């Protein structure tokens, strides 16, 4: 039987926004967001990323996409999306994949409406339409600059200004997705042919990123738009290690100073229990702090975890620790609260923020926790990581070709106990 295949072109070069397809919105690379949207669409059978870039290919594969290597002559500034799609279809044909319906998704549209995408696929599969594209309804009056840059109306009369309710809407392409019969596309060599349909999407999902300003706008909108998509699934965080800042994460970001200048902080026993649960599950844990403070050393010793202090370059220390542990950065959760955590948040697969974090940290986070620093934030993260570990274990057990991994009891050191 023929398949519904989503193809996402994602070349490495970009002039307006360098490395655009790897830029993060809501803590997730743009190409990964497109892959995720396609995989959440129940009507799509296969997800493919066509790229000339090894880093993009690695991210795509990590998120569950099949990769087609895109040749250099189809990866330049002048190469069309159609040429990349045709090449990908030919490659899939050589792999014995029968593509009946092609869903062309653009990674530069970070908020792809999965319900609208599903409806578009159904329209094409049922042959009610040959091609369907995502669009927003608009009642705007369009103008262009004419002779001498004088404004001239497009599609309306300057002396006739009907009310919104008295006009029929127009539709503006969002660039998010185009769904079409694969055979019709190859014959026309264009995304619009035959009977063309419109898939309406919400205006707040319609942003397309071509400039740095649009990237920043998308990052600002992400916490709002992602609540139903990523937020609903944020209960599980499947990672292999956890790294946290200290001040503002294990504490409420305040410090008590006595008359002798001795500093002290307040921590949560609940957080301590959460760290103990992670240790019992064999999940490495690191406290990474810019400052050097005996209280951080004492807390790490109490919890029995690694600590790195006086880290002027926290990102470099994080990379070094990850290499020592043999854990890819994509499989690490980093929990932070302030601007000195931003570079670390950009490195890992799961950037996490406490709810009272700096706005730049919140906009960089893939997940914002429910509990604030010093009041259960670390426990909140620990429970989500353990949920992710359990879900991964179940999925692995259901794969008959994957042998279970048995760890010796000595691989899991006993969790430190805190008095209740």
Specify the pLDDT at position 401: 43
Same domain? 110 vs 66: yes
The per-residue pLDDT for range 72-125, each reduced to its tens digit, is 888 777 778 899 999 999 999 999 999 999 999 999 999 999 999 999 999 999
Same domain? 216 vs 261: no
Specify the pLDDT at position 236: 85
Higher pLDDT: 378 or 414? It is: 378
Torsion of CA 34, 29, 19, 222, to 10 degrees: 90
Same domain? 49 vs 196: yes
Q: Please give the Cα distance from 164 to 167 (Å, whole number).
A: 5
Specify the pLDDT at position 391: 58
Res 418 pLDDT > 70:
no
Q: What is the CATH number of the domain that holds 317?
A: 3.40.50.1000
Tell me how far CA of residue 96 lies from CA of 71, 93, 393, in angstroms: 20, 5, 32
Q: pLDDT grade, residue 312 (50/70/90)?
A: confident
Q: Please give the Cα distance from 58 to 383 (Å, whole number).
A: 28
Radius of gyration of the chain (CA): 25
Asked if 198 and 142 touch (Cβ cutoff 8 Å), the reply is no
Orientation angle between helical segments 30-40 and 54-62, nearest 10 degrees = 30
Quick check: is 115 in a domain?
yes
Quick check: is 419 in a domain?
no
Mark which of 213, 233, 253 sits at the end of a domain.
Answer: 233
Percent over 90 (pLDDT), the chain: 63
Tell me how far CA of residue 215 lies from CA of 13, 16, 208, 212, in angstroms: 16, 10, 9, 5
Specify the pLDDT at position 392: 58
- pTM reported for the whole predicted model: 0.75
Which string of b and e fits 149-176 if b means at least 16 CB within 10 Å? Answer: eeeeeeeeeeeeeeeeeeeeeeeeebbb
Residue spans of alpha helices (H) in 239-358: 269-280, 294-303, 314-325, 342-347
Rounded mean pLDDT, 52-75 = 91
Same domain? 89 vs 196: yes
Asked if 288 and 317 touch (Cβ cutoff 8 Å), the reply is yes
Number of domains within the chain: 2
Res 269 pLDDT > 80:
yes
Same domain? 351 vs 247: yes
Rounded mean pLDDT, 165-173 = 85
Q: What's the whole-number average pLDDT of the chain?
A: 87
Res 408 pLDDT > 60:
no
Residue 111 belongs to domain spanning = 3-138+168-233
Same domain? 47 vs 189: yes
Rounded mean pLDDT, 160-168 = 81
Q: What is the CATH number of the domain that holds 29?
A: 3.90.550.10
The per-residue pLDDT for range 277-303, each reduced to its tens digit, is 999 999 999 999 988 888 899 999 999
Residues in contact with 168: Cβ distance below 8 Å, sequence separation at least 6, in sequence order: none
């Amino acid at each position: 039987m023929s398949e519904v295949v989503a193809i996402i072109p994602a070349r490495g070069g970009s002039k307006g926004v360098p490395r655009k397809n790897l830029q993060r919105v809501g803590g997730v690379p743009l190409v990964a967001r497109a892959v995720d949207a396609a995989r959440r669409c129940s009507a799509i059978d296969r997800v493919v990323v066509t790229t000339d870039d090894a880093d993009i290919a690695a991210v795509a594969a990590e998120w569950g996409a099949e990769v087609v290597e895109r040749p250099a002559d189809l990866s330049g500034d002048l190469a069309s999306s159609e040429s990349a799609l045709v090449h990908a279809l030919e490659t899939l044909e050589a792999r014995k994949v029968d593509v009946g319906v092609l869903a062309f998704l653009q990674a530069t549209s970070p908020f792809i409406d999965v319900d609208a995408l599903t409806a578009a696929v159904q329209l094409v599969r049922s042959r009610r339409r040959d091609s369907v594209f995502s669009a927003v309804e608009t009642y705007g009056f369009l103008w262009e600059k004419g002779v001498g840059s004088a404004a001239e109306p497009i599609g309306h009369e300057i002396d006739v200004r009907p009310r919104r309710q008295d006009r029929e809407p127009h539709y503006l392409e969002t660039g998010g997705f185009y769904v079409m019969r694969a055979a019709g596309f190859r014959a026309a060599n264009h995304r619009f042919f035959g009977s063309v349909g419109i898939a309406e999407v919400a205006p707040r999902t319609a942003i397309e990123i071509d400039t740095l300003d649009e990237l920043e706008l998308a990052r600002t909108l992400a916490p709002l738009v992602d609540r139903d998509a990523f937020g609903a699934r944020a209960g599980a965080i499947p990672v292999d290690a956890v790294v946290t800042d200290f001040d503002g994460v294990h504490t409420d970001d305040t410090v008590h100073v006595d008359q002798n200048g001795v500093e002290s902080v307040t921590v949560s026993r609940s957080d301590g229990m959460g760290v103990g649960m992670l240790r019992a599950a064999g999940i490495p844990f690191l406290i990474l702090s810019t400052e050097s403070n005996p209280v951080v050393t004492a807390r790490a010793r109490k919890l029995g975890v690694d600590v790195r202090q006086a880290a002027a370059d926290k990102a470099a220390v994080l990379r070094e620790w990850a290499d020592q542990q043999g854990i890819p950065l994509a499989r690490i959760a980093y929990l932070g609260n302030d601007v000195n955590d931003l570079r670390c948040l950009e490195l890992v697969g799961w950037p996490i923020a406490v709810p009272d974090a700096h706005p730049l940290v919140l906009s960089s986070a893939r997940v914002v926790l429910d509990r604030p620093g010093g009041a259960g934030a670390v426990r909140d993260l620990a429970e989500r990581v353990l949920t992710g570990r359990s879900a991964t274990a179940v999925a692995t057990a259901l794969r008959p070709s994957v042998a279970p991994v048995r760890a010796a009891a000595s691989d899991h050191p006993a969790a430190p106990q805190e008095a209740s």
